[in-house]
Amino acid sequence: MTGLNTTPNLGTNASADDLYQKLVALHDGLSEADSLRVWAKLVLILANHIGDREVIEQAIVAARPVAAA
Amino acid sequence: MANIPGIPVYKEIGATPAPATGGGADRARVVIVGAGPVGLAMALDLGRRGHEVVVLSRLDFIAHASKAICFSKRSLDILDRLGVGDPALAKGVTWNVGKVYWGEADDPVYQFDMLPVKDQKRPGFINIQQYYIEEYLLDGVMKLPNVEVRWGHRVYGVTSKDDGAELAVTADDGGVYTLEAEWLIACDGARSTVRDLLGLDFEGRVFEDNFLIADIRMKHEMPSERWFWFDPPFNRGKSALMHKQPDDVWRLDFQLGWDIDRAAAIRPENVEPFVKAMLGDVEFEQEWYSVYTFQCRRMARFVHGRTIFAGDSAHLVSPFGARGCNGGFADVDNLGWKLDLVLKGEADEGLIESYNDEAITTADENILNSSRSTDFLTPKSTASQALRDAVLELARDHAFARPFVNSGRLSTAVHYPASGLSTPDTETWTSGVAPGAPVLDAPHGDGWLLDALGDDFVLLTRGWQGEAPAGVRLIEISGLAAERLGLGEGGAALVRPDHYVAARWHTIDPAAVDAALKRAKGGMA
Ligand SMILES: Cc1cc2nc3c(=O)[nH]c(=O)nc-3n(C[C@H](O)[C@H](O)[C@H](O)COP(=O)(O)OP(=O)(O)OC[C@H]3O[C@@H](n4cnc5c(N)ncnc54)[C@H](O)[C@@H]3O)c2cc1C
């Protein structure tokens, strides 16, 4: 892998909407604390799947708001 | 009677009279301030190498405190080199495996082995009360006529000079005297008088958490392992730790949080419910209850001219990872041979600067690891709490999450990949021990390789019996020992007196060995 891919990579609008909905539904019925934990689990699962420290660190930079950097 | 009230006594020794100086100053080549584990080990190392050493101890006894219990393999190797490893092993509780539990589950979410490479003389860890280690070190020191420990002698003034240091000392018998040292080693602990008197910095981070230590005596069967709990039913939302010590003593450690009444926390009526909640309705006796908080900090430099800092005076870590005293022993191990060479005139004073570099590398690794463990144990925000709990939840079902579980990364030997004393590899190595890393123990002859290395520079060779440079012992190795060093026929490794590899060759070249030796003694090749 060569660096973090930030170009659209998950298909059509419909597919994006579908994924978005699943990410929202992931939190159905959860308290804020539980929700936060679920987000964290998802990040860890995906990070392990990516398995490339450099890409993950680029993603961390990309996610962090500029003002707070 | 102990000279300082309020500190429990393990062993009374009694005050040493002030020396008769006849109005002039008393002198010693090396003065060590502090007779804690680090000061005593330092005295033993330099004393065994034949140097005149005076140790000043504010106390006139060995304290019976709830301090270090976990001593690493690396420390055991160092104690072996100093001739006091056997009593520690005989008394201590050997363990290699750590288990981490979460919530009410009976199965660990994570476990680790502190001795992944077997066939070594010493185990990954032993548990033993710090005062036993101090006693064994002192026994070693007492056998040396060239080391003098002055009990009940407190340093209250220090002047640093180009050719040493001048100390103002007050003895328990009322005597006050001046002691001139060529070299001063400050092993006077976290609240170092020497550091304060010289106005030196000690920067770092204070962690807002309290931990209760209940050292109790009871008859209890449990494997010799380190058990750690996150969020157990007996300490909800917090952590706990259990360790077996010699003499049927157990260390139970409970995280308490920040806003607590520390005096109330150690009252037996408040401690006992914790113990019973953890262990059930067992019979036990109080050994010692205490509450501790901790900090991670270090001095910017450990070498200030001819004044050198070692142990807690130079660096402090949280106990998670057992890196305090073990880190202090690493300092001793690193400094001993260097100061020996300088005192004998066989190396330039500049060699001591490499102690500054390498001991700071060790301290930084220890601080980094113990800070990270502490951040995992005590999440500082709701997001970090969520991340921590996410790791624990995933670790139960998925192997990939287990390496994230951090209940303390336990002390192992620190490597110095950038050490100026090492000769970098010029050949390709696919195995073995790189320059800047310690030799891996292995069976050797009827014994062990590390025992054979001893206190000197050693040239380890495989299938080569030429002549080693002056002052270097040649040891031929084979089998597993050679394999672990990655040495084929004709290969060699130059090993420092602290058992770190300085250089290695696939095919030995005597000129290159000379150059590497010179470099390892601080002279550039
Ligand atoms: C609860 C707890 C658990 C721990 N567990 C572990 C563990 O499992 N493993 C581990 O490796 N470490 C552990 N540690 C850390 C370990 O106890 C310390 O790192 C170790 O004691 C440091 O040794 P030292 O010789 O540098 O300092 P100290 O033990 O503090 O000794 C310093 C000595 O200097 C003397 N002194 C001070 N000022 C003067 C003066 N002006 N004149 C003369 N003498 C003076 C003092 O009286 C003292 O005897 C633990 C610490 C705590 C608090």
Residue A3 domain flag = no
Of B89-98, B219-228, B325-334, B516-525, the poorest mean pLDDT is in: B516-525
Residue B194's pLDDT is 98
Q: Where does a domain end: B365, B383, B399?
A: B365
Question: Ligand 1 within 6 A of B39 CB?
Answer: yes
Report yes or no: B383 at the A interface, CB cutoff 8 Å: yes
Contacts of B387 in chain A (CB under 8 A): 40, 44
Question: Mind listing the pLDDT tens digit for each residue in B247-267?
Answer: 999 999 999 999 999 999 999
| Contact state of B382 with A41 under an 8 Å Cβ cutoff | no
Q: Where does a domain end: B313, B334, B365?
A: B365
Residue B76 domain flag = no
Question: Are the beta carbons of B330 and B74 closer than 8 angstroms?
Answer: yes
Q: Could you tell me if the ipTM is greater than 0.90? A: yes
Q: Where does a domain end: B332, B365, B398?
A: B365
Measured CA to CA, the distance from residue B377 to residue B380 in angstroms comes to 9
Q: Whose CA is nearest to atom 29 of ligand 1?
A: B36
Residue B263 domain flag = no
Search chain B and give the residue with CA nearest A36.
Answer: B386
Q: Where are the alpha helices (DSSP H) in B7-84?
A: 37-48, 73-81
Find the Cα–Cα–Cα–Cα dihedral A19, A20, A26, A31, rounded to 10°.
170
**Burial state string for B124-139 with b = 16 or more CB within 10 A and e = fewer than 16:** bbbbbbbbbbbbbbbe
SS3 assignment, position B261: coil
A contact test, residue of B109, B381, B384, B389 with most A CBs within 10 A: B389
**Mean pLDDT across B469-488:** 97
Q: Which residues pair with B53 in a beta bridge?
A: B30, B147
Q: Which atom of ligand 1 is nearest to the CA of B310?
A: 26
Residue B453 domain flag = yes
Contacts of A40 in chain B (CB under 8 A): 383, 386-387, 389-391
Residue B28 in tokens: 């010693």
pLDDT band for position A68 (50/70/90)? low
Measured CA to CA, the distance from residue A25 to residue A36 in angstroms comes to 14
pLDDT band for position B525 (50/70/90)? very low
Write out the residue range of the structural domain in which residue B23 sits: 9-66+129-202+298-365
Question: Ligand 1 within 6 A of B326 CB?
Answer: yes
SS3 assignment, position B63: strand
Residue A54 domain flag = yes
Question: Mind listing the pLDDT tens digit for each residue in B45-88?
Answer: 999 999 999 999 999 999 998 899 999 999 999 999 999 999 99
Distance between Cα B362 and ligand 1 center (Å): 17
Residue A45 domain flag = yes
Q: Which residues pair with B101 in a beta bridge?
A: B229
Tell whether the model's pLDDT for residue B188 goes beyond 90: yes
CB pairs below 8 Å between A and B: how many?
Answer: 32
**Mean pLDDT across B480-494:** 98
Give the rounded distance of the alpha carbon of A13 from its chain centre. 17
Question: Mind listing the pLDDT tens digit for each residue in B102-143?
Answer: 999 999 999 999 999 999 999 999 999 999 999 999 999 999
Report yes or no: A33 at the B interface, CB cutoff 8 Å: yes
Write out the residue range of the structural domain in which residue A37 sits: 29-68
Report yes or no: B386 at the A interface, CB cutoff 8 Å: yes
Contacts of A33 in chain B (CB under 8 A): 382, 385-386
Q: On the CB side of B379, how many CA atoms lie within 13 Å of its CA?
A: 17
Q: Which atom of ligand 1 is nearest to the CA of B188?
A: 34
Contacts of B406 in chain A (CB under 8 A): none
User: Could you tell me if B177 and B310 lie in one domain?
Assistant: yes
Report yes or no: B470 at the A interface, CB cutoff 8 Å: no
Tell whether the model's pLDDT for residue B20 goes beyond 50: yes
Q: Considering chain B, what percentage of its residues have pLDDT values greater than 70?
A: 100
Search chain B and give the residue with CA nearest A48.
Answer: B400
Q: Which atom of ligand 1 is nearest to the CA of B63?
A: 49
Q: What is the CATH number of the domain that holds B501?
A: 3.40.30.120
| Contact state of B394 with A37 under an 8 Å Cβ cutoff | no
SS3 assignment, position B456: coil
Q: Which atom of ligand 1 is nearest to the CA of B328?
A: 26
Question: Mind listing the pLDDT tens digit for each residue in B270-286?
Answer: 999 999 999 999 999 99
Search chain B and give the residue with CA nearest A51.
Answer: B400
Find, among B257, B247, B249, B255, the residue nearest to B228 by Cα.
B255
User: Could you tell me if B447 and B361 lie in one domain?
Assistant: no
Q: Any residues with CB less than 8 A from the CB of B500 and at least 6 apart, and which?
A: B416, B419, B436, B437, B438, B439
Report yes or no: A48 at the B interface, CB cutoff 8 Å: yes
Our count of domains for chain A comes to 1
User: Could you tell me if B354 and B449 lie in one domain?
Assistant: no
Our count of domains for chain B comes to 2
Question: Are the beta carbons of B438 and B499 closer than 8 angstroms?
Answer: yes
Tell whether the model's pLDDT for residue A2 goes beyond 80: no
Residue B309 domain flag = yes
Report yes or no: B390 at the A interface, CB cutoff 8 Å: yes
Report yes or no: B231 at the A interface, CB cutoff 8 Å: no
User: Could you tell me if B51 and B139 lie in one domain?
Assistant: yes
Measured CA to CA, the distance from residue B326 to residue B308 in angstroms comes to 18
